[in-house]
Structure 1
C-alpha cells in the first residue's frame, strides 16, 4: 500500500472535505497539521511517502528536497499554479505533479474585508467595545468618491474593481501588460505609470502574479510615492513588496496603514513586527481558505491520485 501525506493542513480538514473511501484500499492517508520549519524534520515525516499533497505554497519543494525523497512519485497541489514547486526538478526526479481548480472569488472578498476593516477601524473599535473601552474612538474613512488603484487587472483585480465601483469609488489600474482597451472593458482608467497610480490612489491593492518583473516592485521608492493617508493592501504575494521598506513606511507613518494576508515567512514568527504594528490589519494567509475552495481542492486531489494510480494522470503540471 502506498502512503500519502497531506502537508500543512492547518485546520485538519483534508480527510473530511472529500470522500477518500475509494482510495483507502490502495493508499494510507497521513494528515499533517503542522508546518515543518526545519527541512530535516520534513524529510523525516514524509520520506516513506510515495504521494504528497501540498496546500498551495505553504511548503516549498525545491530541487534539493526532491533529491532527499527517492520514494516520492506523485505531488499534488491545490490550484493550478504553485511557484514553490521546482517543476524542472520534479521532472528530473520522475515525479508527476498535478493540480486542482481554484475559485477566484475568495481572495476578492478578503481584499474587501481588509479595506473595510482599515477604513472603519473595525479591529480597535471591536476591541474597545469588548473590553469596555471608549464608545466610538475613531472617525471612519469614506470610500465613495475615493480613488482605488489596482496593481493588476486579471481575474482577481477585475472583480475587486467591480466592487470598488459599486461602492462609488473611482478605479484606476496599472500593470506592465495592461492596455487601455482592457482597462476600458472593465470601466477602469489606465494609469500612465506605476508612479502615477501610487500618487493618485487612496487605496492601493495588489493583484499581480509573482515573477521576475514583479518581485520587489513596490519598493521604498514606490512607497514614497503614496499619500500619507493612503492604504496598501496585499492579498497576492508578499515578495511583490519590499517588506523592510513597508515596515519603515508604516513605523514612520508615511502611509496610513496596510492590510496584509501574505508574508515572506509563514507562519509568522511569534515576535514578528507584523503582529504588533498598530496601523497593520493582518490575516494569516486566508485569501483562498474558504469552504467552497476546500470542497473543490480535496475532491479533485482525490481524483488526481486515483487517475495517477490508474495510469492516466489528469491536471498535470509536470
Structure 2
C-alpha cells in the first residue's frame, strides 16, 4: 500500500503543483445592435486567448433560429490568475455580445505542468528499476523471442478483457441517468494542454508492473495457491486506483458506472497476471498494460 500511495502521488504531481487551469465556459450570448454577422472564433484580452464555438459553427455566418439574437456558445482558455471570467465578459461586450442573465457555466481543471511531467516520468522509471532490482526475475525480454506469434494475443488480452466487461456492464445497466460527458476543458482538455502528459499513463505501466507482476508476483506465487495469488494481486491493483474505489461508494449513477469500471480494472489485473504466467516476461506485461492504458485514454478523449 505504501508503494501504491507513492505511485499515486507521483502521478498527481504535474497537476497538483501547477498554477494554471484549463477552463471551459458554456453560456448563451445575445447579439447587440452592433454585433457582426460572423461571430469571433478567437479573441484575446490582456494576453489571455479564448477559443469559442458558436452554435457549433466557427468562422461562418450564424444561422438565425427561433430567437435570432441568441446563440449557444462554448469558449475554452488557459487561466493562470483567476481573471478569465472577467476577461471573457469584457471581451464579448467589446465585440458587441452580451451573456444571458442565467450566467456562465464553468468547468475548470488544473493544467499539467510540463516540467513536473518530466520529473514524474523520471521518478516512475527510477522506481521501476528499483523494484525490478529487488526481484530476482528481471524484465524477461529474452523470452519474447520464444513466443513468436503468441505475443500479439498476449498483448491484447488485458485490454480486450476490460472491453468485454465494460460492454456487458453497459448492456446490463443501460444509459446511466445524469451521467453526461464533461465539457471540453475537463479531463480531456487538461491532458491535451501538455502533449507530454499523454506519456504519463504509458510510463506509469513500468512501476505498476514492476510492483504487481514483478516484486509482488514473485513473493505471492511462492507462498499462496495460484488462484489466491491472482485474486490478491488483482485486489491490491484495484486499490491502487483509489479514486475509482472511492467513486464506487459515492452513491447515484456515478457509483454504478464506477462499479463497472472497477470490474474492468480488476479483470485487467487478472489478465496481466495471466500474461506474466504464460509468457514469463515482465516486459511483455508492461507493453500490454501500456496498450490497455492507451485504449482507455483514447476512449476518454473520444467521449
TM-score tier after normalising by the smaller chain length: under 0.3
Between structure 1 and structure 2, the one with the greater Rg is: 2
- Tell me which of the two structures has the higher relative contact order, counting C-alpha pairs closer than 8 angstroms and 6 or more residues apart: 2
Q: Which has the higher helix share?
A: 2
Q: TM-score, normalised on structure 1?
A: 0.22
Q: TM-score, normalised on structure 2?
A: 0.22
